[in-house]
Chain A
């Protein structure tokens, strides 16, 4: 099996300068591996740092300690020390992120948001990108009548599904998924489970936070537990 991500000794904390320089340690000594075609669920109580871990893996939170080795095309890159341009290249072609909430430019229609994420934006490929976006949105039960509208006015569940469509639109070999089903009904949850299984079958590596245990059991090969660290002053 090909190693997709290897995390060793990852540590992350925050220094809150506006609150007397309080130091909040969130992650310490986190180590685990994820192989291609595998899904690892991050579990732990609320506040244990699950989302912080995912954000560190994406490079949004800059690691204080440890390495995050990512297989990026033919190379293995340490995301914890990579320069911004390398991180952007990794995000463009290797590492996808499905966040809990949709953050988009006002005025941009749902279809365009998803099409842009297919990474098929090259000349003449706009139609292929739109076709793929339409297919994903329909699969996630976003009716065609909404495709041309900006998602700002959509319900929470609809926004989450647009966000999922966007996250699955690309062909990233590694996907980080934060709470994909929190606002979804049973039918849509089943769709998401099927999409994650298909991604695994296609050889993609997945790291996810799934509060819904049925969903977790249906997709995860392993569970990586994170425990809350005590605050240090």
Chain B
């Protein structure tokens, strides 16, 4: 109970005439899943990138509590320190796995590569650990030496998850991880992510436009509109008792199956 893992205050960012973030704050506690929802253009992906240190805000701060308890300003970190963080303690899952994976390297290599980048050196151990993680994400180990180019969209996304989680990060940023997938594949992937995240106690900032995904995955939801957080609370509070007109619009626009 030492404090939030990640804290942001008064984040502001403009792209020319467009306000992408306007006075955004957030706290993420260890093991917590926070969903950021809103329509495209609401600023949710921008927020994710700013929280992850990939995009610098015009104003405001993001603080990260390191495992030793020291609190560091993410945007004041020297680039090598931030890169090291992203290689091991943090993970980033992108909507398009092709952008995150090395398509000319085998599936096992994609997973093992991140372990090596985090400092692992023993080839046998790396291969073993890669195989174990392919199994965790339900990829047949027989496909370990295949290149990802031969994989389906769902498999590619699961491979990206394996590659991200192999270093046992405490914090993972996810940008529409089920975005481009068929509904049947989505359910399987969501179940997999949910199980792994719970078991490993990973904190997650999950950007999604899909309220059903947010309800399934997240303990807390933040609703964004035009760069501002218009409502936040527990997932069931925001979805079952939406107060802001924009949240009410989002909730009422969902087609019930």
**A interface vs B, CB < 8 Å?**
14-18, 55, 59-62, 84-85, 87-88, 105-108
Q: Is B40 an interface residue (CB 8 A)?
A: no
Instruction: State whether A105 and B190 are in contact (beta carbons under 8 Å apart), knowing that A61-B241, A87-B234 are contacts in the complex.
Output: yes
A85 touches B241 (CB 8 A): no
Chain B residues within an 8 Å CB radius of A106: 187, 190-191
Residues of chain A with a CB closer than 8 A to B117's CB = none
- 5 nearest A-B residue pairs (beta carbon): A17-B245, A106-B187, A60-B236, A61-B241, A107-B191
| Contacting pair B29 A18 (CB below 8 A) | no
Within 8 Å CB of B194, what residues of A?
Answer: 105
Collect the chain B residues with CB atoms within 8 Å of residue A62's CB. 233, 237, 241, 243
Inside 8 A of B191's CB, which chain A residues have their CB?
A: 105-108
Q: Is the interface of B mostly helix, strand, loop or mixed?
A: helix
B190: chain A residues at CB < 8 Å are: 105-106
* B249→A60 contact, CB < 8 A: no
- Chain A nearest Cβ from B237, distance in angstroms: 6
Question: Which chain A residue lies CB-closest to B217?
Answer: A105
How far in angstroms is the closest Cβ of chain A from B134?
A: 19
A88 touches B234 (CB 8 A): yes
Closest-CB distance, B98 to chain A (whole angstroms): 25
Task: Please give 12 more A-B residue pairs, beta carbons under 8 A apart, in addition to A105-B187, A108-B191.
Answer: A14-B241, A18-B245, A18-B252, A55-B241, A59-B237, A61-B237, A62-B237, A62-B243, A87-B234, A88-B234, A107-B187, A107-B188
A106 to B244, CA, bound (A): 30
Kindly provide the distance from the CB of A82 to the nearest chain B CB, expressed in whole angstroms: 10
Q: Which residues from chain B contact A88 at a C-beta distance below 8 Å?
A: 219, 234
Residues from chain B with a CB closer than 8 A to the CB of A61 are 237, 240-241
B163-188, CB < 8 A from A = 187-188
**Which of B203-233 touch A at CB < 8 Å?**
216, 219-220, 233
Given contact pairs A17-B245, A108-B191, A59 touches B252 in the complex (Cβ within 8 A): no
Name 22 interchain pairs, CB-CB below 8 A, sorted by A: A15-B243, A17-B244, A17-B245, A17-B249, A18-B245, A18-B248, A18-B249, A18-B252, A60-B234, A60-B236, A61-B240, A62-B233, A62-B243, A84-B220, A84-B233, A84-B234, A88-B219, A105-B187, A105-B190, A105-B216, A106-B190, A107-B188
B246 (CB) vs chain A CBs: closest residue = A17
Within 13-57 of B, Cβ neighbours of A (below 8 Å) are at 29
B215 to chain A: closest CB distance in Å?
Answer: 8
Cα–Cα distance between A105 and B240 once the two chains are bound (Å): 18
CB distance from B125 to the nearest CB of A (A): 23
Closest Cβ of chain A to B184, distance in Å, is 9
Q: Which of B29, B219, B234, B244 has the most CB of A within 10 A?
A: B234
User: Which chain B residue shows the least CB distance to A87?
Assistant: B234
CB of A59, distance to nearest CB on chain B (Å): 7
Of all chain A residues, which has the CB nearest B234? Answer: A84
Neighbouring B residues of A59 by C-beta, 8 Å:
234, 237
Tell me the complex Cα distance, A125–B220, Å: 27
- Most chain A beta carbons < 10 A, residue from B29, B237, B240: B237
Bound form: Cα–Cα A87–B249 in Å: 26
- In the bound complex, how far is the Cα of B234 from the Cα of A88, in angstroms? 8
**With the chains together, A107 CA to B216 CA distance in Å?**
13
- C-alpha spacing A157/B240, complex, angstroms: 24
Chain B residue at smallest Cβ distance from A12: B241
Tell me the bound Cα distance from A61 to B252 in angstroms: 17
Nearest A residue (CB) for B220: A84
Q: Which of B29, B219, B237, B248 contacts A17 (CB 8 A)?
A: B248
**Which residues of chain A are within 8 angstroms of B249 by Cβ–Cβ distance?**
17-18
| B residues in contact with A15, CB < 8 Å | 243
Instruction: Give Cα A59–Cα B219 distance, bound, in whole angstroms.
Output: 13
Q: Say how far B137's CB is from chain A's closest CB, in angstroms.
A: 14
Cα A226 to Cα B248 with chains together (Å): 27
Q: Across the interface, do B187 and A60 meet the contact criterion of CB distance under 8 Å?
A: no
Tell me the smallest distance from the CB of A184 to a CB of chain B, in Å.
Answer: 25
| CB-based nearest A residue for B236 | A60
